[in-house]
């Protein structure tokens, strides 16, 4: 059955790439609540970078908010799909970002392309496919007016950030980065140290609030056991938002004020602030009132209202 599912998905990607692109992005946004915050993370006239675009869930929504998006995806099948499916305001590069130019082997657990990694310690196991991929630094592209860098590279995020030092120092973009201790123990602290030394402050979305990274406890907030449950019980927070320190407190306060608003006020605030008029109809419900948090056996259970 799994083989049939992947065969059908591959067929749809080849025959109707743009439709498949939109369907995949809108089917999976509930698992990435930070997508609803994208219009608040940077001005829509800036450029967004998507490092580790995979099947394009973030790329789809970034392309609807930002005037231009530059994406990087090393898996040949995924990068070919994105090049065929992505909107005209996006550029897709079939390579991996790192801290130096070169070539490396990327490991792909068969059937789980979202877990592909350049890192041997990432936990990739089982039936592994291996691909060679070019490596470049983000700085080598000489991008201008960068407002947001999104990173999801399964343990290789420190190297990506090292290769983006000049871009970060020049444009002070918001950085949205996935970091998981299961891929590389101590990774959260290493990323925090690197970015704080670069003049940034980190936050994470916890229920109905954006909290400072100083409050984050990996043992409590990345409960690996919750990933194995069919019903999500427990806590597994793996996305972190970093703002330039000079404006971090103000921007976090703005987001927290927005999170407490009713949906119609959330949309109006984004439109009035110049965050872009193309606000997804669902995003207020996802990040704001559409998620309620209940207590179940002493643990937090997130359940989504129908929208």
- Residue 183 has what pLDDT? 85
Q: What pLDDT, in 10s, does the model give residues 65-86? A: 999 999 999 999 899 999 998 8
- Residue 197 has what pLDDT? 98
- Of the candidates 40, 33, 24, the one whose C-alpha atom is nearest the C-alpha of residue 238 is 33
Per DSSP, the three-state class of 300 is: strand
Q: How far apart, in whole angstroms, are the C-alpha atoms of residue 191 and residue 179?
A: 8
Q: How far apart, in whole angstroms, are the C-alpha atoms of residue 75 and residue 116?
A: 8
Q: How far apart, in whole angstroms, are the C-alpha atoms of residue 266 and residue 64?
A: 17
Q: Which residue has the higher pLDDT, 195 or 5?
A: 195
Paired sense of beta strands 90-93 and 96-97, if any: unpaired
Question: pLDDT class for 258, splitting at 50, 70, 90?
Answer: very high
Question: pLDDT class for 116, splitting at 50, 70, 90?
Answer: low
Q: How far apart, in whole angstroms, are the C-alpha atoms of residue 185 and residue 208?
A: 27
10-304, CATH topology level:
Rossmann fold (3.40.50)
Q: What is the mean pLDDT of residues 231-242?
A: 81
Q: What pLDDT, in 10s, does the model give residues 136-171? A: 999 999 999 999 999 999 899 999 999 999 999 999
- Residue 18 has what pLDDT? 59
Q: Which two tokens stand for residue 65?
A: 């908010």
- Residue 187 has what pLDDT? 96
- What are the beta bridge partners of residue 52? none
Q: What pLDDT, in 10s, does the model give residues 87-114? A: 999 999 999 999 999 999 988 776 555 5
Compute the mean pLDDT over every residue in the chain, rounded to the nearest whole number.
Answer: 80
- Tell me the backbone φ, ψ of residue 169, rounded to 5 degrees: -65, -30
CA distances from 230 to 166, 198, 225, 226 (A): 43, 40, 11, 9
- pLDDT at residue 233 greater than cutoff 70: no
Q: What is the mean pLDDT of residues 42-56?
A: 95
- Residue 119 has what pLDDT? 55
Q: How far apart, in whole angstroms, are the C-alpha atoms of residue 66 and residue 153?
A: 21
- Of the candidates 183, 73, 172, 168, the one whose C-alpha atom is nearest the C-alpha of residue 123 is 183
Cα–Cα–Cα angle for 156, 162, 167, rounded to 5 degrees = 120
Q: What is the mean pLDDT of residues 175-190?
A: 95
- pLDDT at residue 48 greater than cutoff 80: yes
Which range among 112-126, 210-224, 280-294 shows the weakest confidence by mean pLDDT? Answer: 280-294
Q: How many CA atoms lie within 13 A of 96 on its CB side?
A: 29
Q: Which residue has the higher pLDDT, 261 or 228?
A: 261
* All residues at 6 or more sequence positions from 104 whose CB lies less than 8 Å from its CB, including other chains: 96, 98, 118, 132, 133, 135
Q: What pLDDT, in 10s, does the model give residues 3-46? A: 434 433 444 445 456 556 555 656 555 668 899 899 999 999 99
- Residue 90 has what pLDDT? 96
- Residue 201 has what pLDDT? 99
Q: What is the mean pLDDT of residues 102-129?
A: 66
Q: What is the mean pLDDT of residues 174-193?
A: 96
Dmax (CA) of the chain: 52
Distance of CA 189 to the CA centre of its chain: 19
- The answer to whether 117 touches 58, Cβ cutoff 8 Å, is no
* All residues at 6 or more sequence positions from 224 whose CB lies less than 8 Å from its CB, including other chains: 182, 236
Q: How far apart, in whole angstroms, are the C-alpha atoms of residue 213 and residue 292?
A: 22
Distance of CA 31 to the CA centre of its chain: 11
Which range among 82-86, 122-126, 249-253, 288-292 shows the weakest confidence by mean pLDDT? Answer: 288-292
Q: Which residue has the higher pLDDT, 68 or 115?
A: 68
- pLDDT at residue 303 greater than cutoff 80: no
Tell me the H-state helices in the chain. 2-15, 17-28, 38-41, 57-65, 76-85, 157-162, 165-171, 187-197, 218-221, 245-259, 263-272, 283-287
Per DSSP, the three-state class of 287 is: helix
């Amino acid at each position: 059955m799994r083989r049939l599912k992947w065969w059908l998905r591959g067929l749809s990607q080849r025959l109707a790439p743009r439709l498949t692109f939109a369907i995949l992005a809108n089917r999976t946004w509930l698992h990435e609540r930070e997508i609803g915050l994208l219009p608040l993370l940077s001005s829509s006239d800036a450029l967004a970078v998507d490092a580790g675009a995979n099947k394009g869930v973030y790329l789809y929504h970034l392309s609807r908010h930002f005037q231009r998006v530059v994406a990087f995806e090393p898996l040949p099948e995924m990068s070919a799909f994105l090049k065929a499916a992505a909107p005209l305001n996006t550029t897709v590069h079939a390579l991996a970002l790192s801290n130096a130019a070169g070539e490396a082997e990327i490991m792909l657990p068969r059937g789980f392309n979202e877990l592909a990694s350049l890192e041997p310690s990432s936990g990739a196991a089982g039936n592994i496919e291996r691909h060679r991929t070019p490596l470049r630094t983000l700085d080598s592209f000489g991008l201008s007016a960068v407002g947001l860098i999104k990173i999801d590279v399964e343990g290789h995020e420190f190297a990506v950030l090292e290769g983006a030092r000049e871009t970060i120092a020049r444009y002070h973009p918001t950085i949205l980065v996935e970091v998981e201790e299961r891929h590389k123990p101590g990774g959260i602290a290493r990323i925090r140290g690197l970015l704080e030394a670069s003049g940034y402050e980190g936050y994470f979305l916890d229920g109905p609030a954006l909290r400072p990274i100083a409050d984050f406890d990996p043992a409590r907030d990345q409960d690996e056991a919750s990933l194995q449950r069919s019903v999500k019980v427990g806590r597994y927070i793996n996305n972190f938002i970093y703002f330039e320190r000079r404006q971090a407190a103000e921007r976090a306060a703005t987001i927290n004020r927005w999170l407490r608003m009713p949906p119609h006020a959330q949309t109006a605030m984004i439109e009035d602030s110049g965050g872009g008029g193309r606000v997804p109809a669902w995003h207020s419900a996802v990040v704001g009132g559409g998620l309620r948090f209940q207590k179940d056996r002493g643990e937090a259970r997130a359940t989504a209202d129908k929208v």
